[in-house]
Structure formats: C-alpha cells, structure tokens
Structure 1
Amino acid sequence: MSYSEIDDDSIPRYKRGYEWFSHLANAELSRRAWRRFGIFSFYDAPFAESDLLYLSPKQVMLTMSKMAKAKEAGLVFVVDAMEKDEMGLSTKAGFDQFIEIFDGLFPDSSKFYFGPKESDRQWLHEFSSLRIPLNWLIKRPNVFAEVLSDASPVGERVGPGDASFENFAGMIEVLVEKLGPPSLTEEVMGKIRSTEASEYAGEAVGMMTVFISPATAVSRGVRYLGKFMSMVKDRRKQEVKDVYLEWTERVKRGYSEEKLKLFFDESPDFNSGLVGAVASFKPVLIILETRGTLYDLFLPLVLQHLVEEIGYIPPHRRPKKMEDDKKKGKKEEDWGSEALSYESIETIEDGDLPPVTDQLIQSVMDQDDKIAGSELDISEDKFEGKPETILFLDAATHLSKFNRSFKFALNIPEKFPNMSVAASFFTDREKISQALQEGVLEYMKERALIFDLHPALFDMATARMPVSRKAWLNGRLQEMERIRSEGEVAFLEYSSSEETHWALRVVNKPESEALAKIRSWFRRGS
C-alpha cells in the first residue's frame, strides 16, 4: 500500500509511526513469551524518517513493552536521551512526543532521571533524580572493581581491595587514582611502544575519550590515543605534562563530592523508590543523560543494585554461605530465641483449659486450613516473592564499551529466571568488539526484529544455516530493501518458537477501525 494516502486525522508523524507499527505488531507479530528480545539496525538512526512517517527503536520498544507487560509484572524501560536526530529525546519536540505515548500506555508509571543535569535540556531535569545508595556500594567493592576495570583508561584489572572506600572522600580518591592519567611505568611504556593506536584503543575503554576536552590539541578516541602515544614515544615531555594536567583536573572536577551526590546518597535508610515501584508492578521509566560523559560508568551500578533487590536466584545457584546463613538464622530463630518461652505442661491445671466444644474443634480445624493454605501459597510462589520483571534497554550498543557490565546486563535472564531483557542494538561499528558480537548473536537466538544489520554479524548469525535456507533468507532481505527503496518500512521477524522461524513484515497504513482501536488504548489509559 502506498504511503501517499495520509490518515484523515492530521497527526504528528512520530505518533503515526508508532500507530502503524503498533497495528502491525498486534496483528502479525508472535505473542509467544520470551526471555531475550533483540531489535537490530545498522545505523544509530531512525528506521524510517520522512515527511509522513517517523519510526525509531524507541517507538518499537514502546509497542513491545506494552505487549509484554502483564498486570502483575514489573517493567523497567531505560531510555537514552542523548539521541541527536530531529525527533530524538535530546530535542524538546521528540521528548514530548515520546512521553505522550509512554504516558498514554502507562499512566501510573514512575519516572526517574539519571544524569548530571549539566545540559540545557531542562525538560529532562524536571523528573526525580535516581540515586544509588552509597552504603550498598561501600559493602560491594567487587562490584565497584568491575566497573572501574571496565572504565580504566589503560585496561587495568582493578581488584576489590583497590576499589574499597568508606565515604565520599574515599570514593573520590579511588576514582581519581584509577581513572586519572596512568603513571608511565616501564610496563605501560612498553605496551605503548609495541602497540598500534587502534589496537590499544580496543583495550582502553571509551571512557578515555571524555577525560580530555575537544578544545585541546588532542582529538578524541583513537585519534587521541594515537596523538598521545606519539607524544610519549617521542618523549615530548611538556605536551604530555599539559595533557596530564588537564586530564587530572577534569577527573577531580567531574568526580567532586558535589557531583557524586547527584548519583549517590549516603543516608543510611535511603530509598530511591525504584525497587518499590517495580515490586508494586508500576511501570518505570529511567531517562539517561550520561552517554559520553564521566558518569557513563555509573549506569551499570543502577542495574546491579536493581537486580540484586528484585532478581530471584535459584537455590542451586546461591553461594553456599548464603544458604548456610539462612539455615542457621532459621534454626536460631526457631529454637534459640529468648523471645520464645513456654510454660511447662505439668504446671497447667485442668481448670485452666477451655472446655472442648464443637466451636473449639471447628476453630482449630479452620486454623489448620489457614496454615495449610499459606503453605500452599508459598510453595506455588516459584520466585519466593520476587516480581517477574521485564527490562527494556534502549541503545544497548553504547553500553558495550563497558565489557563486563555489558555482559552482566545481557545475561540477566540467565542468572535471574524472574527477569527478561529486551535490547535495541545498532551495529555500524568500524570494529565489532567481542562483547558486542556475543551480545548481538545471543539476542538473535530467541526473538528478534531485524531492520538492518552489520554484514559481518549477519554472516556469523547464519554461519551454520543450510545454503538453501540462507538463499531463501537473502531473498527476503532483497525484498525488504526493495520495499524500503519505495519509501516504506519492512523488517525481518525471527522467532525460535514458531514453526516458521523467519517472516518478512511490512509496516502498512492500518484501516480506520484499527487506528481507532489503537487510539482508544490512550483514552482508557491501559
């Protein structure tokens, strides 16, 4: 169907893109349950952008989150607000239209902002700031060590001992030491002399690119590393000194106590409200404004804290000490508590006992029924009170520079059976990292919507596919490209649980009745 026939209602193209895709999803996409769901594109850009239609990964994820959200299940939608396109969330118009749809689908949601509030995007800053309990992190130096290892500008493997701290002052000391400019030891010098800039950049995480401002003579990314390595190799001491001075000052300013208090709270009884909202099945929106900043490395801590609170770990995967402590605590509570004391039966006189009547017998039987019922409820609660929760990660590719944290986030469904994860990926990378490669392939195994893909990743995903099947799939891709060349939107759906795994889907204009049904969801607010 040609897109030239515009709806009777003159609605924004952003909403039109959502409505058209939503109609297709509800009418044709598989409704089978999933634990991992991938949404893929080549460019970090909208799937479709014209005068008539705008469709981005965020609108697709809104639709899929609505379809996946059960009444008694948690939903956490993590959205990147640094999207630069005309209708991206970094623009007021794009953000307003996204929020209008989100609020229409989830009117009783809780919204949080996570970022430094340094930009002029005031529309993002009006939401409650999401903070991490500092005491939680103090007690988990191993978690902080993993994050610091990911962010280390020289690829240092930081141990828990080096990541330990007791207060904000100690945290600042650790951050400055581990993320400040590296000391040029013989080991580091040898590594720099023997390594090409592009290879070194693969080991040194992208956080290095935010330590030096673009205004300096040193460029960002691999170009920065190349320039820096040249200065070191040529022993241009003054230039190295200038870079180090700016780097050190930037880290100290960025990780000051004032800045850290935007992300952490030291109150002993601090409660951000995030865990409570998820546990009460309220949809949660987390708006991120950290990409490309010094605070990028704190997002993994939000996810770590959340899943530790709501994630269910099966008994066979729990650390032995945890299980032993539970048993020990139960035993002490049952038999060793001083609060439990009983009068010897020999001291009770017959006259002190109530008469055995039919009413007494019935009350005892009723009490037994209540106990039996409660025991049955406990046994049927397969997640021991932890809420089933779906996590939607927007633009997950940006997280892939934090190797360990990226793997942790994508492996949440494997470790926590009460949690599922949907993630959107763009794959236009000059060099596909091992972490991104593994993440993409893992999230193509169960459910996936493929709007486009890096050719190397497509070859990997279909490496073991029979030639005849691969030829058929290539035919679908050619058809998809033909449809796109005519200005329309098409994508491939993959579902491992369906008899036919692959299907070509085309986003067409819905009939008037279908549009009316979609719009009624907003009026109902559900």
Structure 2
Amino acid sequence: MPDHTPDDENIPRYTRGFEWFTHLVRTDMRGRPWRKLGLFSYYDAPYVESERLYLSPKQAMLAMAADVKSQGRNVVMVVDAMEKAEMGLSTKQGFDQFMELYDGIFPDAAKFYFGSRDSDRTWLHDYPSLKIPLQWVIQHPVVFAEVLSDASPVGEIVGPADASFEDFAGMTEVLVEKLGPPSLSEEVLGKIRSTEASEYAGEAVGLLTVFISPATAVTRSVRYLGKFVSLLKNRRKQEVKEVYEEWAQRVRDGYSEENLRKYFDDDPSFESELTKAVEEVRPVLLVLETRGTLYDLFMPLITQQLVEVVGYVRPEDRPKEAVVSSSRKRSSSSDSGWDSEELAYEEIDTPDGESEESIAGAVAPDVELSTDVEMSSQEFEGKPETVLFLDAATHLSKFNRSFKFSLKIPERHPNMSVAASFFTQREKISQALRDAVVEYMSDRALVFDLHPDLFDAVTANIPISTKAWLMGQLQEMERIHAAGGVAFLEYYAPQKNKWTLRSVDKPDPKVIREIRGWFRKKTD
C-alpha cells in the first residue's frame, strides 16, 4: 500500500475507504449511466476491514449516490441498521461516521427511522419515526394481500378480500389469522406431502422454538411446517395445543394496536412524510431497525406507496384499475379442534370462481416494460427522476413478491432507477435471490465477491475463454485483498469489454484535498 502522507494520516480508516472509493467513482468509473446497479459480495460484512482501510456496502452506495446527485437526480436511500460489523450502523461509532459522510453529501435530506424504538441502540432513535398511512393500506388490499402471501408460514396465497380490514382491530385480526398457527387443512397437508424430504434435513433441533418465536415464525415456508407435523405425531395433544396457543398469543401481542401504531397512523388526513419529501425533490434517508422481527414485512408497504406517488407510468402502459368488492367477506379461520381426538382438517377457501393461480396473478402481476429509455429526453408529468438505493437487499428476498416488485421498478417506471447491494452467503440459494443476482448483473454491477453457484449462473452463457479470464481476475482480486487492499470487478453492459478489474488505491494528496473540498461545499 502507498506510504502515509499528511493529507491521509489523521483520518479514520472509515473515511479513508470512502474517499478512496469516491475518487474511483469520480474518475475511472464516471460517465456510465445505468437503470439497475448491483453491488455484490459473499459475506454480510465489509468489503475490506484492515488496519489501514475500511470499506462497506453502505460507503460504496453512498459514493454512488453522491455521483447520482451530481447528475441532478434525487436519491432515496434505505439502510439496514442491524448489521453486526465493527463499524456497522448497529454501533455508535459506525453510525456516527456514516452520518458524517451522509450529511456532508445531503445536508438538506429528510431522515427517518423505521422500527419499534425498543432496542438499546438509542442513537438510531433520534430521527422521527416514519409511519405508513393506515388509510392507504385499507385502500390497497391487493398490496396488503401480496405482503401477507409473502409472509405466510404455510405458503398460502392470500386474496385481496381476505386482506381487507377497516381499522387497527381488523388489521390485527387479519395478521393473526394469516400469520398465526395454521389449521392443518387438506391443502396444507398436500403441500407437506409434496415437499421433498431432503428439505427437512437439519431442521429438527429447536424447530418448535422457530414456530413459536415471533421473530421467525411468520417468515418460514411450508417445508418447516412439514417437519413440525412429523414431530407432532410423537407428542401428546396437550403439548401440541400449548405450542399453538403460545404461537397465536405471541403473534396477537406483537400485532396489537399499541404496536401497530408505531408503524401506522390511522388519521384519515395523514400523509407519509417520506412521500412528501420525495415530491419536494428532497433526498431521503430511511434507517431500518426491523430485520428479524415481526415488523419486517411492513417495509414493502413503504416501497409500494413511494412508487405509487413518485413512479411515472407511460399512458399506454397504464392498466385499468381492478375493482375489489368491499362486500366480500374474509374467510374466517375456524377452531383448531383441540377438544376433538384429532386435529381439524379444513379446506382453505378461495374467492368464488378463482383458482390459486388466478389470485397469484392478481396479487403480483408480472409486468414487463422496456428499460431502453433515455431519461434526460423524457418528461414525466412533473414526477422527479429518483434513484432508490436498497442496502442489504438479500434480507428482503424472503418476501418473494415484494422483493421482485422492488427490483422491477425501473422496468415499470422510466423516471426511477434502483441500486441494490447483495450478500450471497447462503446454504441454499433461493430462486428469488438467484433471479435478482442475474438481473442486477445485466446492466451495471460491482462484484467484490460472489457465491460460486451464482458465479456459474451469471457466466453460463459466455465463452469459456472469457470465463477463464474472469477467474484470473478473481485471483488477482484475492491477492489485493490479502495485502489489505480492496478490488472488484466492474460489469458494464454497453461497453465492448464488459468486465474491468478495479483496484481502490490511494489518490494523490491533491486529489484528496479536492474531494474534501467538494464535500465541504455541500455543507456551506
């Protein structure tokens, strides 16, 4: 690594990593427009963490966001505050250093917190809570049905009629019914029987805790229920009843009106502060403290409302509004049959005349719009050109429909672009994550590392000679990383030679002074 100089000697390695990466963005990587940008790593950790240098996905995205701002586009940045790294936002030191950089770039930004404010990370709680208008959710049962379908512990496809409610009490009822312990219907048992036994491997230990834990129960799929049922066969009915009752109570308590009011406002005249800020073309920072909690599933509602307000849709692409009858009643969940000798088996109703497949199409339409758009030549009826930065997007992949919606935003809305950071260390790569990685490596991508299965997926259709060259570049990346530096492969589709190896090196002292002067101007 280069020798120390007075310009670089007395600054934190966090700032140093950001400045060095910013120099690369403003020089060698400048002038590469994109609609979809993916930042990829293997571990859910910083790209480099040495005595000299610290560079994380958040810092890299912040540097890219500064470049977007210089192009005259607005920025909405959503950051996960639950990362466990030494200087992640879950530490006071990491949060302060990130905010110092962020405030230097976006001094007039609107900043919000999304969480329950019940952790000991009090430094996250200084910003106003972002709340979702309850009236908006009530008026969008299709969107809420999509969220519930993603979170269903048995993979139920929830229809809009079953997701309808009128107030907090009704919302609690819907959440408890759809995310609490399921009745063991013939449909559910059919799904269990069709699930491969190999998917149950390693899930026996602590499985009951998974199902009664409010932090994880609502995001488990039907394969876990299958193992759960197999364990229940060897237990007395009373034990089964106690497990189900505890699960139901924890979900009911978690989604009580008191807790829901931390995330929603039921005043009919209430407007989201986030959407108001974006309409005013103000940068927005949203700090999330919901990962691994019952409230993680509410985040997609924020994205959906934001896009509805800000996203421009060409007149020829605007769909006819689907009308959902308010007279449809939700199918009620029946008693689990604890007073009988066996568990009750009930059919899960679907709206009259509709199959599960047709409901799925209504909940998550697969709309494909052209992405070949020159943004500067478009008029968007007054809607601002906006770039959404999603930190740690891998965590959202468990919400399949909502995850796909967020990543498809640029295809539906020509005034919006999306940048997303992904870590890929997974025992099993879900289809949703695989599709996202392939899609977000099709326009512009920065690859710091990658799961080997995903590397094979994204290089499946390139010549073996090119793949061998890429392997050599990856080896050089590892050599640089072992020496305490950081390098990555940049992919840029419009370029003839689409892959370029980039090394994050120390700029000249004059350049460092220019970068710091550039940020000082932002705060003057």
TM-score, length of structure 2 as denominator length: 0.83
Q: How many angstroms does 1:68 deviate by?
A: 1.1
Preserved contact between residue 134 and residue 265 of structure 2 (Cα < 8 Å): yes
Tell me the equivalent position of 1:229: 229
Tell me the equivalent position of 2:468: 471
Tell me the equivalent position of 1:299: 299
Q: Distance in 2 between matches of 1:389 and 1:516?
A: 30
Q: Distance in 2 between matches of 1:93 and 1:210?
A: 33
Does residue 1:432 correspond to 2:464, yes or no? Answer: no
Tell me the equivalent position of 1:278: 278
Preserved contact between residue 73 and residue 388 of structure 1 (Cα < 8 Å): yes
Tell me the equivalent position of 1:349: none
> Structure 1 regions of 5+ residues with no counterpart?
202-207, 323-379
Does residue 1:459 correspond to 2:456, yes or no? Answer: yes
Deviations 1:361-417 (A, max 9, x none): xxxxxxxxxxxxxxxxxxx86211111100000000000000000000000000111
**AA of the residue aligned to 2:476:** E
Tell me the equivalent position of 1:495: 492
**AA of the residue aligned to 1:253:** D
Q: Distance in 2 between matches of 1:289 and 1:493?
A: 31
Preserved contact between residue 3 and residue 488 of structure 1 (Cα < 8 Å): no
Preserved contact between residue 180 and residue 248 of structure 1 (Cα < 8 Å): yes
> Structure 2 regions of 5+ residues with no counterpart?
202-207, 323-376
Tell me the equivalent position of 1:414: 411
1:21 aligned counterpart, secondary structure: helix
1:482 aligned counterpart, secondary structure: helix
Preserved contact between residue 110 and residue 277 of structure 2 (Cα < 8 Å): yes
Q: Distance in 2 between matches of 1:90 and 1:226?
A: 35
Q: Distance in 2 between matches of 1:236 and 1:97?
A: 55
Tell me the equivalent position of 2:327: none
Deviations 1:106-151 (A, max 9, x none): 1111001011112111111111111111111111111100000000
Does residue 1:105 correspond to 2:102, yes or no? Answer: no
Q: Distance in 2 between matches of 1:275 and 1:500?
A: 40
Q: How many angstroms does 1:27 deviate by?
A: 1.8
Tell me the equivalent position of 1:65: 65
Moved more, 55-64 or 29-38: 29-38
Within 5 A, what are the aligned runs for 1:59-98?
A: 59-70=59-70, 72-98=72-98
Tell me the equivalent position of 1:377: none
Preserved contact between residue 154 and residue 222 of structure 2 (Cα < 8 Å): no
Deviations 1:179-203 (A, max 9, x none): 00011223334543564576379xx
**AA of the residue aligned to 1:437:** R
Tell me the equivalent position of 2:129: 129
Preserved contact between residue 197 and residue 225 of structure 1 (Cα < 8 Å): no
Moved more, 182-191 or 221-230: 221-230
Moved more, 264-273 or 428-437: 264-273
For the aligned residue pairs, the C-alpha RMSD in angstroms reads 2.5
Q: Which has the larger radius of gyration?
A: 1
Within 5 A, what are the aligned runs for 1:133-152?
A: 133-152=133-152
Deviations 1:297-338 (A, max 9, x none): 00000000000011001111112459xxxxxxxxxxxxxxxx
Preserved contact between residue 39 and residue 423 of structure 1 (Cα < 8 Å): yes
Tell me the equivalent position of 1:485: 482
Q: Distance in 2 between matches of 1:144 and 1:209?
A: 27
**AA of the residue aligned to 1:457:** L
Q: Distance in 2 between matches of 1:3 and 1:478?
A: 25
Preserved contact between residue 104 and residue 521 of structure 1 (Cα < 8 Å): no
1:503 aligned counterpart, secondary structure: strand
Q: How many angstroms does 1:226 deviate by?
A: 7.2
TM-score, length of structure 1 as denominator length: 0.83
Tell me the equivalent position of 1:156: 156
**AA of the residue aligned to 1:263:** Y
Tell me the equivalent position of 1:370: none
Preserved contact between residue 231 and residue 240 of structure 1 (Cα < 8 Å): no
Q: Distance in 2 between matches of 1:281 and 1:235?
A: 59
Preserved contact between residue 395 and residue 423 of structure 1 (Cα < 8 Å): yes
Moved more, 409-418 or 25-34: 25-34
Preserved contact between residue 313 and residue 416 of structure 1 (Cα < 8 Å): yes
Deviations 1:62-82 (A, max 9, x none): 000000124643210000000
CA gap of 1:99–1:382, structure 2 versus 1, over 3 A, is same
Q: How many angstroms does 1:477 deviate by?
A: 1.2
Deviations 1:247-267 (A, max 9, x none): 111111110101111111111
2:212 aligned counterpart, secondary structure: coil
Deviations 1:411-430 (A, max 9, x none): 00001111000000001111
Does residue 1:402 correspond to 2:375, yes or no? Answer: no
Q: How many angstroms does 1:281 deviate by?
A: 1.9
**AA of the residue aligned to 2:54:** Y
2:113 aligned counterpart, secondary structure: strand
**AA of the residue aligned to 2:391:** D
Q: Distance in 1 between matches of 2:409 and 2:280?
A: 20
Tell me the equivalent position of 2:52: 52
Does residue 1:511 correspond to 2:508, yes or no? Answer: yes
**AA of the residue aligned to 2:76:** V
CA gap of 1:12–1:425, structure 2 versus 1, over 3 A, is same
1:525 aligned counterpart, secondary structure: helix
CA gap of 1:479–1:82, structure 2 versus 1, over 3 A, is same
2:163 aligned counterpart, secondary structure: coil
